[in-house]
Amino acid sequence: MRAVAVVAFLAGPAVAADMPPVPSFTEETASAGIDSTYTGEWEYMVGGGAAAFDCSGDGFPDLFLAAGEGKSGLWRNASARGGALRFEKVESGLELDHVTGAYPVDIDSDGIMDLVVLRVGENLVMKGEGQCRFTPANTAWGFDGGDAWSTAFAATWEKGDAWPTLAVGNYIDRTQDAFPWGSCTPNWLHRPNAEDNGFAPPVALKPSYCALSMLFTDWNLSGTPSLRVSNDREYYKGGQEQMWKVLPGQPPALYTKVEGWKYLRIWGMGIASADVTGDGYPDYFLTSMADNKLQTLAPPLKEGKPVPGFADVAFARGVTAHRPYAGGDVRPSTAWHAQFEDVNNDGLADLFVAKGNVSNMPDFAANDPNNLLLQDAEGKFHEVGDKAGVASMAVSRGGALTDFNLDGLVDLVVVNRHSPAQIWRNTTTGAGHWLELKPSQAGANPDAVGGWIEVRTGDRVQRRELTVGGGHASGMTGWWHAGLGAADSADVRVIWPDGQAGDWQPVAADGFYRLERSKAAQDWTP
């Protein structure tokens, strides 16, 4: 019956040929058991993150929500598979104040997810102890949490290291109340110590330009990710968007104009990445105020290799998302968290963007609905936030799209400033087929951060880079989702972080698979 429904949905005459199927989301904030508000004034005008990851070991993503000046908290996912979303707040050790955001990453590679907590003040690395309990590990791991206004994060494993490299982005010098412009404080690169069992003192990434999002990403498929940094032009002097070469054993170095880097100044607030163009390379959506950017590698190649210059194709592809599309407020938008996920399982990455005024700025929209932009077969995007039911007018910041109830449909949580976080269940009927995949490898970097998942249906290959970072103060890990459209099976493989490609393995659609290195794909049932 499901297969029949899929075919009918994808080929149905009720939908225009170029319009992707519109998903349906049902808000379950009131019944889901989540009650968290991102609070605080000036020092919390940015941030407001969510972290979605499994801390209980049952496979369902649990949820950490930043609460700014209030106490942040952890909610264990108690949803039944395919059922309504339900969470239970648990004592976890993450009841922390002054939190702006958080990113899950298994720092000590023990198979239990840890959490990096960004704060106004000292950042914390919280070691996962299992069963959703966490303990501070700054001292044990030699992590210098500093004392800054931290607003961005990314992580990678550099080649040969057992311990990850963490990048922390910092914002304004918060002691400069009368004239903070030009006071951007240094970002930090926390690399492994000489013993490779903890962190060395952080290196300042100078110059720094008030980062609001960072992402380690292998933009040129070289096998070594670089660090993209999106910066808020409101506060820097002489700044721009940045990308750092982070080569093992060498000091970080910025890509330069001579190498092809193109000067861009935006109110950078969030980074989302996906291979939108289908050329195998990641593309980047950068959130800002008014127009947002969708960057793809700009030709020409130099000696057959890509140069670090990007062209903005947001206008051509319909993802500028510069103004509210509903609610009647026509002033420019303010965009924060962004994430590509296939919300209708048609095999094409769609885009969610959280929107909300910085703080009663009259030149920008007050009623600024979140966006849900569906990608069509020609690579153009169509706004359906209101039709899909996610056009919240709350002042949104961070968020996460992940499958909370493990039914193969990507759900949504959004953190709001001064109002409660909202959660939606994806209740689309007759969506396409799907897969959810979880790579793992023995030893360091068990979740294969820096690797790629490839899903092949027919002659088309979807590629997904496994990253830690990006978005706006929000991170997620766990099952990586792929829509398959009408295909009822696919071949999957992992390109591991060391560059080795696993074998293609056939899998049936609509299932969960553990992709353990050098082993056959293992079917998993919640």
Partner 1 sequence: MLLHAVFARATANFFGNTGPTGQRAMAAMAEKYGARVSDGLAPEVAAASVAQGSAVADHILAWSQGDGGAVVENMGFPLAFTPDTRPGHWKPTSTIAQQQAPLLPGWGSNRPFAMPAADACGLPPPPAYSEEKGSQFYAEAFETYEAVRNLTPEQTAIARFWSDDPMLSTTPPGHWMQIALALLEDEDAPAARRAEVMARLGITVADAFIACWQAKYEYDLIRPVTYIKKVIDKNWEPLLITPPFPEYPSGHSTQSGAAATVLTAIWGPDFAFADGSHEDDGLPERAFPSFWAAADEAGISRLYGGIHFRAAIEQGLEQGRCVGAYAVALKMGAQA
Among 89, 133, 322, 380, binds partner 1 (CB under 8 A): 322
**Nearer to partner 1 (CB atom), residue 93 or residue 182:** 182
The site map against partner 1 for 254-283 (x = CB under 8 A) is -----------x------------------
**Residue 193: both structure tokens together:** 């110590």
Dihedral, CA of residue 517, residue 465, residue 426 and residue 47, to nearest 10: 120
Helix (H, G, I), strand (E, B) or coil at 312: strand
182 binds partner 1 (CB under 8 A): yes
Task: Report how far Cα 336 is from the mean position of its chain's Cα atoms.
Answer: 11
235 binds partner 1 (CB under 8 A): yes
Q: How far is the CB of 180 from partner 1 (least distance, A)?
A: 6
320 binds partner 1 (CB under 8 A): yes
418 binds partner 1 (CB under 8 A): no
Among 190, 233, 355, 425, binds partner 1 (CB under 8 A): 233
- State the residue for tokens 């965009």: 335
**Nearer to partner 1 (CB atom), residue 14 or residue 330:** 330
**Nearer to partner 1 (CB atom), residue 56 or residue 183:** 183
The window from 68-76, 78-86, 352-360, 376-384 that contacts partner 1 (CB under 8 A) reads 352-360
Q: How far is the CB of 305 from partner 1 (least distance, A)?
A: 21
CA 46 to CA 44: how far, in whole Å?
5
Cβ burial, residue 124 (10 Å; 0-12/13-18/19+): buried
The window from 108-116, 234-242, 340-348, 418-426 that contacts partner 1 (CB under 8 A) reads 234-242
Among 234, 279, 503, 523, binds partner 1 (CB under 8 A): 234
41 binds partner 1 (CB under 8 A): yes
Size of interface with partner 1, in residues (CB under 8 A):
35
- Strand order of the sheet with strand 270-274? 270-274, 283-287, 293-297, 310-312
The window from 98-106, 220-228, 233-241, 338-346 that contacts partner 1 (CB under 8 A) reads 233-241
180 binds partner 1 (CB under 8 A): yes
Dihedral, CA of residue 88, residue 90, residue 92 and residue 98, to nearest 10: 80
**Residue 241: both structure tokens together:** 């968007």
**Residue 183: both structure tokens together:** 């006071």
CB 183 within 8 Å of CB 235: yes
**Nearer to partner 1 (CB atom), residue 41 or residue 110:** 41
**Nearer to partner 1 (CB atom), residue 13 or residue 362:** 362
What is the per-residue DSSP string for 250-284? S--EE--TTTT------B--EEEEE--SSSSS-EE
The H-assigned helical ranges of 267-360 are 314-317
CA 517 to CA 479: how far, in whole Å?
16
Phi, psi angles (nearest 5°) of residue 260: 120, -5
Among 62, 312, 350, 407, binds partner 1 (CB under 8 A): 312
Q: Which residues bind to partner 1, rule: CB under 8 A?
A: 41-42, 45, 172, 177-182, 233-235, 237-238, 265, 290-291, 312-316, 320, 322-323, 330-332, 358-363
